[in-house]
Amino acid sequence: MYVAGAYHYVASLLPQGSPQQKALIEAQARYYDERDACGQDLKCILRVEKERHQQLHRQRDALEQPLPVKAIVRVSQGWTTPEGESLTQRLLEGLGLQPLPRVTLDDGRSVVWGFVPHAAILQSMVVLSPKAQVEALVTADDVYMGEGKSGNVRVYLPDGQNRDQILPIVQSWVAASAAGFNVDCRKDQAVCRPVPLKVAVEIVNLSCKAKSVRACAQRAPSTLTPGPSVALFTQ
């Protein structure tokens, strides 16, 4: 029973009908098959149950990992947006509604995002390393439900590194946001096909001494390596 309880709890932390939840269901079905194959062998049953319970606890710990707010504040402090707003305030306002959607990618990175209350077109997104370190902070204005034809996106890199790994992730997330998230690639292949974004994307190195977006921003390249599936980003 303790495996069943852990399974249902992890399932509740995942977006309903998401690829991650479907993968969890498939893994649980494999667990039942493996346990049934033990027959009446009690040691075998206990071993299989223990392994599955540990797997579910690791998933739970990853999903419950708190957003590193202090790190976000530290790397963004002192910066202002071109609109004259505190970058820290803009980022945190977009991450204020809980629970925040979260996706763990194949490489172990996590993507967490949200929007400003009562203003879904003002979004914030964070890319975390497998060790929960901030690798990128993103603000997106007028992108949500915009079909990729309008808006602007700024990608803030704490040390200016990992650009080539981060931008494809941002590209997929922006495409998902423009489509309203919850994309089914079997029904909407055009949205899932990697194409250069029409949305303006700027890269800002947060180690830039000027601490000015206008002075430090660079235009992102239009041609990017394909990123993770758009279908992963659900809310």
Per-residue pLDDT of the chain (235 residues; tens, 9 = 90+): 588 888 887 886 776 677 888 889 999 999 999 999 999 999 999 999 999 999 998 888 777 778 899 999 999 999 988 888 899 999 999 998 877 888 888 788 889 999 998 888 999 999 999 888 999 999 999 999 886 566 899 999 998 888 999 999 999 999 999 989 988 888 877 778 766 677 888 999 999 988 888 889 888 887 678 888 888 888 8
Q: Residues 216, 208: contact at Cβ < 8 Å?
A: yes
By CB neighbour count within 10 A (0-12 exposed, 13-18 middle, 19+ buried), where does 5 fall? exposed
- Res 140: pLDDT: 95
Give every CB contact of residue 75 below 8 A, 6+ residues apart in sequence. 134, 137, 156, 158, 206
Interatomic CA distance for residues 11 and 18, integer angstroms: 10
Cα separation of 139 and 64, whole Å? 23
Place of tokens 């660079």: 218
Q: Enumerate helices (H) and strands (E) in the chain, giving the number of each.
A: 8, 7
List, in sequence order, the alpha helices (H) in 37-95. 42-63, 69-76, 87-93
Measured distance between the N- and C-terminal CA atoms of the chain, rounded to whole angstroms = 29
Neighbours of 196 (CB within 10 A): 12
d(CA 44, CA 107): 32
Q: The whole model's pTM is what?
A: 0.75
